[in-house]
A and B are shown apart, each in its own frame.
Chain A
């Protein structure tokens, strides 16, 4: 065998292959839900990160934990895009498709462009499996795949062979075939392998025989590429020239959880996450439950309503109350969010959006909860809304949401989505010393405007309009708050018509006046662009990638992305009015466009798609190009 292990056990390639240098590659691993494709993709991503590539990922899996084996609904895939420059999306189409069975091939082959590389596990292409997904003849034997570079590899057999000497039975050995695939791809792309072997040793620390089997399968895959000569070319993607600093790979849900931990530390407040498991937000609970050493309590409640109730109760007592959910959970939490608006207490509400309505598409992404976040409560019940624009941005969004919640004493909604939540990218690790100070001043003295020496809970800071926050346990400041309308200042129940009108407007003004950064427009043409592409949330990547393509074609286009959806940046109206066309791509039926038209009377162009998947850069490129070519009158 020509592969050697070097001193620290890492694999190294020795066979002379033709090395092709690429600037970027998109690989999609696809297989049955039980095949471990998410883990495989995740490991390949870690290898790319360790190598220093820029990267973006798109996991795509069914809502069923184990859909019937070998069927199209049971296909799970993980796409990773890695490059030697800063990329914005997980890639429109794969350059390489790894299909572990006929179902994975059938479900994904339409996305593989001509000349794309296809690696298939031939062992699964049995008559039975082919029939199960409706193949009348074996696509490996007819000419239906002639447009692609097909590599047929008997992964199951090879894996079983490699593990023949171990104590594992045939069936268990076969389950390691995903590591075989990972080993093969790692060889093809000159990936570092130490991390994966270390990972497997740690993951299966209590089952050393399983760890050993997986490592053997991984090495067998690597060796297969190295020795069989069926692969004549290997590929190199150099490290990316990102901004200097130390990076790690991070998913949106992890970044959000870290943001909450950091916010609690910076505010010097205990954190209580009150929540109920729901896809795709549950990982926030899983992550936060690991960090009790930061004073983080996680409470898995009996339902969504109890989750937010406990969070609000904790906020009332002076903790940072947080609740996390997806759209259906927000529907249940609405009344409590309204109570938070009335009580004017800080509260972080995380909505990781998914396909809807109702149960919809639990594991797919969508951004159709914007109007629910804005208006999904009874009466006039405004809350600030922040939408992170990428997985790593979720960290900053959590800090910013907390800053607003604590400063203005209000519930704040973080609108993430499935693409942010499960997708990952490199993250420039922040310096803790430079995180904002979020400490709060609680009321300690009576404050009654009439000098009576009482505490009036609805006395306000003249600038922020935030009310005074006196914690239970503070002597002399005993007071009662509740969901009934209250007299401004004193806070007692009030049914006075003028007071109600005043309070409704006051609560609105408080939110409207929240200081949010001005919107920044990116236009490398120096102001020549007549079309603005404006988005929000996780579509930042595809919109940005599409703008780059349009500019490459010689057409100027400006891009701006809204992180603050409520209140909107103060300069937004002027920006909208300064372009001939504003196009707003959204994964809904035009909710931001609707808001912008209503608020600014600007005829924005809405482009929408609600397919459960992120926009493709190519698709948006065509939309933008069309508008520029057909509709902009050059001046």
Chain B
């Protein structure tokens, strides 16, 4: 087997091939006529609202936006957006979106999924979509519970969690979705809170503009089966001690007065400490464009299941050729080299003729 120089395409932005419009759009235009049927107080409402107000800012033709979802509460999302949409089957949205994005570079393709959909039944498709760097944007609604099936633990539930299927407490070790995505060498990985409209809009915008797979983990509250899972990040005093905002080019620090910060450990990992003890010069300056995934991975490990420290924002944002751009380039190259002559293909080289 030999490797071939693929003559890599030079597209930079995720929306480079998607038709734009100059006409101003309103959030209202993105609302479908379907009655939204999530439970009262569900975090999904807030995310839907944010997405409906954010989409008009992209200036895309609305008909060139597609939302594909799997199964779960969050996967009802496409029904409520007045774009093209498909509510598919459990865990498979990344695979379906892969086929769509590969054949239709003129579309902005979004996947809406949850912790069960993306990380349990669809885990395989998720990691492969990320490693291939397909030009799709994945919104992973993480509520750490199975909602639609009424309250079983999920692959992000904390150990010991008592649920309908774990009356004595869960003995499962959860995934850290950001770590998982980075392990799959995702080129864009971010995290946001459902209630943080500004923060969510910021990462969604960057995700949309990213060429390749982008995954955004959204902490989302399930008021029925896992209420208050993220309350510590929403309480003003608590949040300041726990949320670590990641801003490119800035030292990583947090706390009400910025009194905490992130510094390196001896073995190359990161740890949290008081800036007064670390020293300002020893704070890590955030750079999501570092090619080695080890950097962003180490950042993702600062966070833990108890949300004591929770980095939010963009962990990693690097350029790498996308599968779909390269696959289409091969088709174009083949077309240029050899036009489609069907009769010649069918006839082949070795023939014989029978005369009547």
| Residue numbers in A under 8 Å from B333 (CB-CB) | 292
Q: Flag if B63 contacts A310 (CB, 8 Å).
A: no
Q: Does B343 contact A (CB under 8 A)?
A: yes
Q: Which of B100-134 contact A (CB under 8 A)?
A: 100-104, 106-107, 124-125, 128
| Residue from A242, A261, A313, A475 in contact with B100 in the complex, judged by beta carbons closer than 8 Å | A313
Q: Does A134 contact B (CB under 8 A)?
A: no
Q: Which of B89-97, B159-167, B265-273 contacts A (4 or more CB under 8 A)?
A: B89-97
Q: Does A483 contact B (CB under 8 A)?
A: yes
Q: Name the distance in Å between B160's Cβ and chain A's nearest Cβ.
A: 33
| Residue numbers in B under 8 Å from A431 (CB-CB) | 343
| Residue numbers in B under 8 Å from A51 (CB-CB) | 352
| Residue from B81, B97, B348 in contact with A248 in the complex, judged by beta carbons closer than 8 Å | B348
Q: Taking CB as reference atom, which chain A residue is nearest B107?
A: A472
Q: Flag if A493 contacts B339 (CB, 8 Å).
A: no
| Residue from A270, A293, A301, A430 in contact with B95 in the complex, judged by beta carbons closer than 8 Å | A301
Q: Flag if B85 contacts A480 (CB, 8 Å).
A: yes
Q: When chains A and B are docked, how far (Å) is the Cα of A297 from the Cα of B96?
A: 15
Q: Which of A316-324, A461-469, A544-552, A596-604 contacts B (4 or more CB under 8 A)?
A: A316-324
Q: When chains A and B are docked, how far (Å) is the Cα of A293 from the Cα of B345?
A: 11
| Residue numbers in A under 8 Å from B348 (CB-CB) | 248
Q: Which of A105-113, A335-343, A505-513 contacts B (4 or more CB under 8 A)?
A: A335-343
Q: Taking CB as reference atom, which chain B residue is nearest A255?
A: B346
Q: Flag if B335 contacts A292 (CB, 8 Å).
A: yes
Q: Flag if A432 contacts B342 (CB, 8 Å).
A: yes
Given the contacts A317-B107, A430-B346, A248 and B351 also touching, CB distance less than 8 Å:
yes
Q: Mark B325-356, 1 if CB is under 8 A from A, else 0.
A: 00110110111011110110111101111111
| Residue numbers in A under 8 Å from B69 (CB-CB) | 482
Q: Taking CB as reference atom, which chain B residue is nearest A290?
A: B334
| Residue numbers in A under 8 Å from B66 (CB-CB) | 472
Q: Flag if B96 contacts A316 (CB, 8 Å).
A: yes
Residue among B96, B104, B125, B339 with max Cβ neighbours from chain A (10 Å): B96
Q: Flag if A295 contacts B78 (CB, 8 Å).
A: no
Residue among A51, A247, A431, A472 with max Cβ neighbours from chain B (10 Å): A472
Q: Flag if B350 contacts A46 (CB, 8 Å).
A: yes
| Residue from A244, A301, A472, A492 in contact with B355 in the complex, judged by beta carbons closer than 8 Å | A244
Q: When chains A and B are docked, how far (Å) is the Cα of A376 from the Cα of B102?
A: 29
Q: Name the distance in Å between A263's Cβ and chain B's nearest Cβ.
A: 11
Number of A positions contacting B (CB below 8 A) = 74
Q: Name the distance in Å between B88's Cβ and chain A's nearest Cβ.
A: 6
Q: When chains A and B are docked, how far (Å) is the Cα of A472 from the Cα of B61?
A: 11
Q: Flag if B63 contacts A242 (CB, 8 Å).
A: no
Q: Which of A115-137 contact B (CB under 8 A)?
A: none
| Residue numbers in A under 8 Å from B347 (CB-CB) | 246, 248, 429
Q: Name the distance in Å between A209's Cβ and chain B's nearest Cβ.
A: 20
Q: When chains A and B are docked, how far (Å) is the Cα of A478 from the Cα of B356?
A: 57
Q: Does B64 contact A (CB under 8 A)?
A: yes
Q: Does B79 contact A (CB under 8 A)?
A: yes
Q: When chains A and B are docked, how far (Å) is the Cα of A482 from the Cα of B71?
A: 10
Q: Does A272 contact B (CB under 8 A)?
A: yes
Q: Does A309 contact B (CB under 8 A)?
A: yes
| Residue numbers in B under 8 Å from A242 (CB-CB) | 354
Q: Flag if B335 contacts A293 (CB, 8 Å).
A: yes
Q: When chains A and B are docked, how far (Å) is the Cα of A506 from the Cα of B79?
A: 23
Q: Flag if B95 contacts A305 (CB, 8 Å).
A: yes
Q: Does A188 contact B (CB under 8 A)?
A: no
Q: When chains A and B are docked, how far (Å) is the Cα of A51 from the Cα of B356?
A: 16
| Residue from A261, A292, A314, A316 in contact with B334 in the complex, judged by beta carbons closer than 8 Å | A292
Q: When chains A and B are docked, how far (Å) is the Cα of A625 from the Cα of B62?
A: 69
Q: Flag if A482 contacts B351 (CB, 8 Å).
A: no
Q: Flag if A306 contacts B125 (CB, 8 Å).
A: yes
Q: Name the distance in Å between A241's Cβ and chain B's nearest Cβ.
A: 7
Q: Mark A320-335, 1 if CB is under 8 A from B, else 0.
A: 0100000000000001
Q: When chains A and B are docked, how far (Å) is the Cα of A327 from the Cα of B335?
A: 34
Q: Flag if A246 contacts B92 (CB, 8 Å).
A: no
| Residue numbers in A under 8 Å from B125 (CB-CB) | 302, 305-306, 309
Q: Flag if A310 contacts B107 (CB, 8 Å).
A: no
Q: Name the distance in Å between A147's Cβ and chain B's nearest Cβ.
A: 37
A-B contact pairs, 17 of them (CB 8 A): A244-B356, A245-B353, A249-B350, A274-B95, A292-B333, A292-B334, A295-B340, A297-B328, A299-B102, A313-B103, A314-B102, A316-B96, A316-B100, A318-B104, A335-B92, A432-B343, A481-B86
Assuming A302-B124, A312-B96, what are 13 further A-B pairs, CB within 8 angstroms? A46-B350, A244-B354, A247-B354, A292-B331, A292-B334, A293-B335, A297-B331, A432-B343, A478-B84, A481-B86, A481-B87, A483-B71, A483-B88
Smallest CB-CB A-B distances: 8 pairs: A482-B87, A309-B95, A313-B99, A310-B99, A244-B356, A292-B334, A313-B96, A306-B95
Residues of B within 8 A of A (CB): 19, 32, 34, 61-64, 66, 68-69, 71, 78-79, 81-89, 92, 94-104, 106-107, 124-125, 128, 327-328, 330-331, 333-335, 337-340, 342-343, 345-348, 350-356
